[in-house]
Amino acid sequence: MSKEAVNLVQMQEPTLKPEQQSKLKQLVNEENLLKQEESVQKHHQTFFASIRTAVTMFGERFRAFVTDRDTVTATVVGLTLLAGGVYSAKNGTAAPAGLFKPFLVTPKCRITVLEALQQSFQQVRRRLRDVLEGVVLSPSLEAQVRNMAIATRNTEKNRSLYGNVLLYGPPGTGKTLFAKNLALYSGMDYAIMTGKELAVMGPEGMGAMHELFDWANTSRRGFLLFMDDADAFLRQPATEEINEDRRVGQDAFLYHMRRCSNKFMLVLASRHPEQLHWDIDDIVDMRCHFDLPWQEERERLVRMYLDKYVLKPATEGKQRLKLAPSDYGRKCVEIAQLTDGMSGQKIANLALSCQDKVYASKDGVITEAMLDAGVQDFIQLQQQIMLAGPEDEHPST
């Protein structure tokens, strides 16, 4: 029934019989349902048309966006700065140091905020139980550095003022490894830089120096800044001609060292402490002499590195080797006697030389002859290096 017919019948409703009135109401309800269905269909058509239009517009704009390199770069920079602002607002500090790391700091050196954040956080929360893990020192030096480690750990816990430390001695005697262990034992972040890098920076040295210390102050756990080869940068002015840029850089560094801080501590490593700047004596709170190992320490080093590089890899790896019956303790003593004058780093290299001989075994048996061959090859190589000229300075301390 049409809309006009329904209206006409409704006007005559008072004159209709009850059956006719009931029929009329049914027709009116059906008409209303049809109207509602038509309205819903129109709404759906309008809604889906809007979605298609929005998707089309988004696709066209996104295509234009990704093809415009300048726009993409500006967007990424803006989001990075926004993240830094949100971090600052929530924590009241600068952006994470891992985001804007000073170029003075070598890669893969800072625990927590450096070294690709995720790995760093896992490492820093692993506190060392023994600050001398992997480090072999004389009994007197062990006692000295253990006391220093306990004091540093308590300083970090109580948020007190850190003291500066000077580690000096020949290269390869464990100074760098101990500095890392000290940071891990105390639960601190750490970074490693070298004096040589600072020495060649020129006029940029002072700005980079301030940036470095500002960055160190962002650590919440306390920060240990380790400078290897400190004498390359902090050399006395009288020992060589120092240009104006170097002098300004030294002054900036010494200025920060004079300021006692509960945020960071400085650990300097030097091979020639007598050549360091005169002011270092007033700034450093503790000195530790890392000397070449004596016979007892060399025996411990030989055992440690042979276990690490020869026995364990050979007997626990995929291609397992057998250890021939021998007096292993006596052999370590003999090897230690042949390494007089060697640093811990060189003894580690000697063990790697023995590893090469062991992996060349045809019958899968480790013999004393293999170890002897590896030791002799390494000693001959060192003699050839000495005859060729003065040894280059080793980067490891």
CA distance 6 to 87: 69
> Both tokens of residue 303?
């055992």
Q: Looking at residue 348, what is its pLDDT? A: 94
Confidence of residue 253 (pLDDT cuts 50, 70, 90): confident
Those residues with Cβ within 8 angstroms of residue 189's Cβ, 6 or more apart along the chain or in another chain: 110, 111, 112, 113, 114, 124, 183, 219, 221, 222, 223, 224
Domain boundaries, the chain: 3-65, 118-289, 295-388
CATH class of 118-289: alpha beta
CA distance 317 to 305: 17
Choice between 260 and 14, residue whose per-residue pLDDT is larger: 260
Q: Looking at residue 49, what is its pLDDT? A: 67
pLDDT surpassing 70 at residue 221: yes
State which amino acid sits at residue 229. Answer: D
CATH, domain range 295-388: 1.10.8
Q: Looking at residue 38, what is its pLDDT? A: 73
CA distance 64 to 1: 55
Ranking 122-126, 281-285, 315-319 by mean pLDDT, the lowest is 122-126
Ranking 3-17, 146-160, 185-199, 347-361 by mean pLDDT, the lowest is 3-17
- Taking CB atoms within 8 Å and a gap of at least 24, the contacts of 377-382 are 377/353, 378/349, 378/350, 378/353, 379/338, 381/353, 382/342, 382/346
Query: Angle formed by the axes of helices 328-338 and 368-388, to 10°?
Result: 10
Q: Looking at residue 173, what is its pLDDT? A: 94
**What mean pLDDT is predicted for residues 53-70?**
60
pTM of the model: 0.66
Q: Are 229 and 105 contacting, i.e. CB atoms less than 8 angstroms apart?
A: no
DSSP of 22-85, one letter per residue?
HHHHHHHHHHHHHHHHHHHHHHHHHHHHHHHHHHHHHHHHHHHHHT-HHHHHHHHHHHHHHHHH
pLDDT surpassing 80 at residue 366: yes
Most confidently predicted of 248-252, 358-362, 372-376:
372-376
Ranking 19-28, 88-97, 259-268 by mean pLDDT, the lowest is 88-97
Ranking 101-115, 249-263, 318-332 by mean pLDDT, the lowest is 101-115
Q: Looking at residue 99, what is its pLDDT? A: 34
CA distance 83 to 89: 10
Q: pLDDT tens, 75-118? A: 554 555 555 554 444 443 333 333 344 545 544 344 333 333 33
Ranking 30-34, 215-219, 270-274, 342-346 by mean pLDDT, the lowest is 30-34
Confidence of residue 6 (pLDDT cuts 50, 70, 90): low
Three-state DSSP class for 291? coil
Confidence of residue 337 (pLDDT cuts 50, 70, 90): very high
Q: Looking at residue 334, what is its pLDDT? A: 94
Q: pLDDT tens, 42-60? A: 666 676 666 666 666 666 6
pLDDT surpassing 70 at residue 67: no
Confidence of residue 259 (pLDDT cuts 50, 70, 90): confident
Give which of 210, 217, 206, 211 is closest to 261, Cα–Cα: 217
Choice between 50 and 231, residue whose per-residue pLDDT is larger: 231
pLDDT surpassing 90 at residue 355: no
pLDDT surpassing 60 at residue 338: yes
Chain center to CA of 340: 36
**What mean pLDDT is predicted for residues 213-233?**
85
Give which of 111, 104, 128 is closest to 190, Cα–Cα: 111
Choice between 42 and 342, residue whose per-residue pLDDT is larger: 342
Ranking 41-45, 214-218, 285-289 by mean pLDDT, the lowest is 41-45
Q: Looking at residue 393, what is its pLDDT? A: 45
Ranking 120-129, 182-191, 248-257, 367-376 by mean pLDDT, the lowest is 120-129
Q: Looking at residue 330, what is its pLDDT? A: 92
